[in-house]
Amino acid sequence: MKPRRAREPRLRDPETGEWDVAEVKHRTKGWVAVVLALVIVFGGIWFVGGKAWDAWMSFRTKDDYIGAGVDPIQVEIPRGATMTAVGKLLEEKDVVKSADSFRRYAQSRPDESSRVQAGRYNMKTQMSVIAAFDALLDSNNLVRNTMQLREGQRTSEQLAAMAAATKLPVEEFQAIAKSPGNLGLPTWANGNVDGFLFPDTYELGSTPTAEGTMKMTVDNFNNVLERNDWVTQATNSPAKDPHSALVMASLVEREATTTEDRQKVARVFYNRLAKGQALQSDATVAYANNITGRVTTTPEERKLDSPYNTYLDKNAGKLPPTPISSPSEDAMQAAAAPADGNWLFFVVVNLDTGETVFSDTYDQHLKAVAQFQEFCKTSDKC
């Protein structure tokens, strides 16, 4: 006979279905004890883990923030700033936590450090040094405040463009042009800014000044001179000196558009100067008469008594006294290294394509002029 198993306590009576209150209380106490034990265990784990995480984060963020940043901020990087200077600036703005950390990271990426441009950047506060460095390499973060000086503009047009870009009175620029002693002009400029405000697109700071803006264009001009050893080239050219070569370049800029034609135009003018002939450049007549918007001039305009009027007999064999425009680097090179040839005349026969005919004799030139006149019959550009 098998021994009977002890009856396990039940929460309800199987016959009446009533709750066994004593058993319920007993089991509840057990469950509560288990739950409390689990709470204590997991609470301890959470507490210890939290303290460990806080300690790690404190160590991790001692010299660096984590992530892509918090609040938007604009930071201006000065021209020529070293990575040490950039790091200090970013720390002052609370973009990075440590200037030294930024510097060390930038030093680990030397090739990319050289690509960081001067300018104003959209960034964020409390960025990691990696995020901050990458933001400076992204040109999309640059706040563009640009100024464009076009090739062939007169000084008056350039000063107006500077005033418009900087939102400063044009009179400030005009005053500096009259007394340009602080701009760094070459000695052979003779204190005249005409032709020395180099045409280019410039990045302006957030608070540009008239003098700083003008000096930036002169510095660019001086860089072009140095890069090409242009003063030496000009001295060895038919112009004989850099100022005359720059005046020639300013005429070439207004008279031709392609490199080949610019070199030929320079040769035409040098050939005429060598023969003591008048240059007869409509560009100089337009400058003397303050004319813009057309390439031809009238007989009356060509009678104007001005040292810039190269149609006058008294100005034969002479260049204008100063540049009539700011020439491009290409025009400067053409003036310093003209093409070889015997041409004495040229005329643009198609203003749409820029096609130019160069002639050795006056009869050849008249035929080219007839081509131009035919073009003008159906064009409003003449």
Q: What is the mean pLDDT of residues 82-89?
A: 95
| pLDDT over threshold 50, residue 58 | no
Nearby residues of 69 by Cβ (< 8 Å), 6 or more positions away: 95, 123, 124, 125, 126, 127, 131, 132
Whole-number pLDDT of residue 27: 62
In single-letter form, the type of residue at position 236 comes to N
22: in domain: no
Q: Measure the CA–CA gap between 23 and 29, rounded to whole angstroms.
A: 10
| Beta bridge partners of residue 75, listed in sequence order | 121
Rounded Cα gap, residues 293 and 286, in angstroms:
9
| H/E run at residue 44 | helix 21-60
Length, in residues, of the chain: 382
Q: How confident is the model at residue 374 (pLDDT cuts 50, 70, 90)?
A: very high
Spatial contact of 97 and 64, defined as CB atoms under 8 Å apart: yes
Whether 166 maps to a domain, the answer reads yes
Spatial separation of the C-alpha atoms in residues 231 and 244, rounded to whole Å: 11
Q: Is 124's pLDDT higher than 70? A: yes
Same domain, 222 and 266: no
Residue appearing with tokens 């394509």: 353
Check whether residue 275 and residue 223 sit in a common domain. Answer: no
In whole angstroms, what separates CA 59 from the centre of its chain? 41
Task: Please list the residues that pair with 121 across neighbouring strands.
Answer: 75, 142
Domain that holds residue 311: 236-343
- Please indicate, yes or no, whether residues 110 and 166 belong to a single structural domain of this protein: no
Mean pLDDT (whole number) for 305-320: 97
Q: Supply the mean pLDDT for the chain.
A: 88
Task: Report yes or no on 175 lying in a domain.
Answer: yes
User: Are 136 and 173 in the same domain?
Assistant: no
Dihedrals φ, ψ of 17, to 5°? 75, 10
- Both 127 and 173 in one domain: the answer is no
Domain boundary among 228, 261, 276: 228
- pTM for the predicted model, two decimal places: 0.69
Residue predicted with more confidence, 188 or 62: 188
Do 268 and 279 belong together in one domain? yes
Last residue of a domain, one of 228, 246, 267: 228
CATH at 96? 3.30.1490.480
Percent of the chain at pLDDT exceeding 70: 84
If asked whether residues 207 and 247 sit together in one domain, one would say: no
Let me know whether 249 and 335 are in one domain.
Answer: yes
Residue type, 215: K
Instruction: Specify whether 99 is located in the same domain as 169.
Output: no
| Rounded distance between C-alpha atoms, residue 90 and residue 95, angstroms | 5
Calpha distance 96→112 (Å, rounded) = 18
Q: For 326-363, write each residue's pLDDT tens digit.
A: 999 999 999 999 999 999 999 999 999 989 999 999 99
CA distance 297 to 85: 56
Identify the band that residue 54 occupies on the pLDDT scale cut at 50, 70 and 90. Answer: very low
88's tokens: 């200090």
- Number of separate domains in the chain: 3
pLDDT tens column, 153-196: 999 999 999 999 999 999 999 999 999 999 999 999 999 999 99
**Residue 55 confidence (pLDDT):** 43
Given pLDDT bands bounded at 50, 70 and 90, which one contains residue 79? confident
Same domain, residue pair 81 and 138: yes
pLDDT over 80 at 6, yes or no: no
pLDDT tens digits, one per residue of 260-310: 999 999 999 999 999 999 999 999 999 999 998 888 899 999 999 999 999
